[in-house]
Structure 1
Amino acid sequence: MTEDELIEAVRVAVSDRGLPPPASPADVARAEAAIGHTLPHLLRRLYLEVADGGFGIWQCVSLTDNGEWYSDEQDIIEVHRSWASSIDPVLPPGVVPLMDRGCAMWTLVDFGTPEGHIWDWDPNDCCVLVPTTLSLAQWLTGWLEGWIQPGPYSQFRIHEENCPSRHARAGH
Structure 2
Amino acid sequence: MTDDEIVEAVRTRVADRDLPPPATPEDVTAVERAVGRPMPQLLRRLYLEVANGGFGVWECLSLTDTGNWFSEERDMIEAHRLFSAMDDSDIPATPEGVVPLMDRGCCMWTMIDFSTPEGRVWDWDANDCCVLVPTTLALARWLTGWLEGWTVPGPYSRFRIHADGCPDRQPSVSS
TM class by smaller structure: over 0.9
Aligned to 2:145: 142
Moved over 3 A (4+): none
What is the CA-CA distance between 1:124 and the residue it aligns to?
1.4
The structure 2 residue matched to 1:94, chosen from 97, 103, 110, is 97
Q: In proportion to residue count, which structure has more helix?
A: 1
Aligned to 1:118: 121
Aligned to 2:37: 37
TM-score, length of structure 1 as denominator length: 0.94
Does the 8 Å CA contact 1:127/1:159 hold for their aligned counterparts? yes
Aligned to 2:56: 56
CA RMSD of aligned residues (A): 1.4
What is the CA-CA distance between 1:43 and the residue it aligns to?
0.3
Question: Secondary structure of the residue that 2:47 maps to in structure 1?
Answer: helix
Structure 1: unaligned runs, 5 residues or longer: none
C-alpha separation between the residues in 1 aligned to 2:114 and 2:66? 22
The percent of aligned pairs where both chains have the same amino acid is 66
Question: Secondary structure of the residue that 2:58 maps to in structure 1?
Answer: coil
TM-score, length of structure 2 as denominator length: 0.93
The structure 2 residue matched to 1:162, chosen from 149, 156, 165, is 165
What is the CA-CA distance between 1:162 and the residue it aligns to?
1.9
Question: Secondary structure of the residue that 2:151 maps to in structure 1?
Answer: coil
